Amino acid sequence: MALVIRCCYSPVSRPNHKEVIALSYKAFANISALQKKNVVNPLKKQLLLISLAVALVGCDKPKGPVSFTPEMASFSNEFDFDPLRGSVKDFSQTLLNDKGEVTKRVTGTMSKEGCFDTLELHDLENNSGVSLVLDANYYVEAESKEKRLRLQGKCQLAEFPAAGVTWDTDDNGFVVRATGKEIEVKYRYDDEGYPLGKTTTSKDATLSVVSTPSKDKRKKLDYTSVSTLNDKPLGNVKQACEYDSHDNPVSCSLEIVDESVTPQVTHKYSIKNTIEYY
């Protein structure tokens, strides 16, 4: 007679540690009952318990990293910040130069459904910025209440009327193309929703950015990227980060090499993130 315990739990129904312990006691009781009936001898009992322990450990393997949502991936692509995983409540990303001076900052708050309730973008080097607030099917400017971006679906980008730009999504809800009067942008993602770069095409120029993330799926923000203009090297970027338990970066070092000038110039930055979760 053989005792078989199969690992057939879905990610939702997989038992927690208390349930695993309860299952172990139940199995032990069943084995003891069988032993009293002389169905299982003591040696076989020990072997069965060892097999049971191994099986239960195998059933309790840790889950893989959470994929990036279409909204998070698409907004990060369009507004140039690092995408985050999981049930993010609010976050900030601050870029500092090698002198420790803040050059850019992004802050946002999100709903439990994964929509950006607010998003603020500040470019201190160029003295520019915008503060957006979700209002029905639009993002409006926080102070003037002017409608800036029209949305589609749950809360995905659809149109930037003032710039004449529209966004198209794929069947999974990711923005894969942006079109304007004289420009087209195509976006790429991997199977976890991580942005792999984009290609921007105008009348006489093609700008391509190709990003290659770390092979470690929990460290996607450790990446390198290469930029070309009409197939000529423009620059490259390398980033390495420290991560929290949600596989999101809490701090990063960023190196940007500008190959458009001679001799080439290297800029070094650091990124400080704060993230709160639901």
Q: Please give the pLDDT value at position 29.
A: 53
Q: Looking at 23, 47, 63, which one is the last position of a domain?
A: 63
> What is the C-alpha to C-alpha distance for residues 242 and 265, in angstroms, rounded to an integer?
26
Q: Is the domain of 78 the same as that of 15?
A: no
pLDDT tens, 167-185? Answer: 999 999 999 999 999 999 9
Q: Are residues 134 and 50 in the same domain?
A: no
Do both 19 and 105 map to the same domain? Answer: no
Question: Tokens for 93?
Answer: 């990303």
Residues 58 and 76 in one domain: no
Q: Which of 53-57, 63-67, 250-254 has the lowest mean pLDDT?
A: 53-57
β-strands 195-201, 184-189: how paired? antiparallel
Predicted local confidence at residue 64, as pLDDT? 85
Q: Which residue has the tokens 């929703």?
A: 193
User: Which residue range forms the structural domain that includes residue 4?
Assistant: 1-63
Number of domains in the chain: 2
Q: SS3 for 168?
A: strand
* 112 and 217 fall within a common domain: yes
Q: CA geometry: angle at 38 spanning 37 and 39, to 5°?
A: 90
**54 and 80 fall within a common domain:** no
d(CA 80, CA 227): 15
44, 63, 82: which is the final residue of a domain? 63
Q: The pTM is what?
A: 0.78
Residues 33, 154, single domain; the answer is no
Cβ-based neighbours of 62, under 8 Å, separated by 6 or more: none
Collapse the DSSP code of 64 into the 3-class scheme (helix H, G, I; strand E, B; otherwise coil) and give the result: coil
pLDDT exceeding 90 applies to what percent of the chain? 76
Which 3 state secondary structure label does DSSP give 79?
Answer: helix
CA distance 210 to 224: 8
Regarding whether 79 and 51 lie in a shared domain, the answer is no
- Strands (E) located in 126-174: 128-135, 138-141, 147-152, 156-160, 165-169
Question: In this structure, are 183 and 254 located in the same domain?
Answer: yes
For residue 61, pLDDT beyond 60: no
Burial 133-159 (b: 16+ CB within 10 A, else e): bbeeebbbeeeeeeebbebbeebbbbb
CA distance linking residue 79 with residue 220, whole number of Å: 18
Q: Are 207 and 153 members of one domain?
A: yes
- Statement to judge: residues 57 and 94 lie in one domain: no
Q: Are residues 161 and 83 in the same domain?
A: yes
Q: Domain ends where: 17, 32, 63?
A: 63
